[in-house]
Amino acid sequence: MPNRFRTFIAVEVAKSVRERLVDLQDKLRAAAPEVKFVDSENLHLTLKFLGEVDETDLYDVCKAAQKAVAESIRFSVHVVGVGAFPNAQRPRVIWAGIGEGADELTFLHDLLEEEYRSQGYPREDRPFTPHLTLGRMRQPKPTPQLAATFEKLMDWECGMTHAREILIMSSHLSSSGPNYTIMGRGKLRPDPQAEI
């Protein structure tokens, strides 16, 4: 029986942005010690989650991602703001938001959804909202101190990163948390107007 891999498509963020995100996690940790924060090397922008994929299908999964974005242009992404899903009063997922680049990330998501739908993968059942997951609540509950911290950090600014490629990644859960492996890459085209 072939191995199965939890597989997703993502955009990597620059090291300087990851470092500022870790500083933000430290501020949030003081307000919500019950949050399980994402390790710095695992911070990324998820575009599409495929779920469990057979090892024998990984080549086709990588080719499909590359095909979907082959005509897409590189772009800049501004990481700004902080909040939570479903809301700040009862957070499940704590995130950093996206300003500039949100439309382009959504467009990539839509391209991937369409390509994978044609291969039999289901569409995601909730609207896509570009974000970086910073942490997850172990037990969702009212957290007034965290909500107050979100208010203070509403205009928090992380900086710019650049989307030059997508990564096809697998996730392996271990006792210390998820370990990610890059299974493939899909290059975005240089912008003929302004190289970034």
Catalytic residues: 44, 131
Question: How many angstroms separate the CA atoms of 178 and 135, rounded?
Answer: 13
Burial (CB count <10 Å: 0-12, 13-18, 19+), residue 82: buried
Given a contact cutoff of 8 angstroms between Cβ atoms, the answer to whether 150 and 96 are in contact is no
Given a contact cutoff of 8 angstroms between Cβ atoms, the answer to whether 179 and 172 are in contact is yes
DSSP state for residue 41 in the 8-state scheme: G
Tokens 């500022």 correspond to what residue?
20
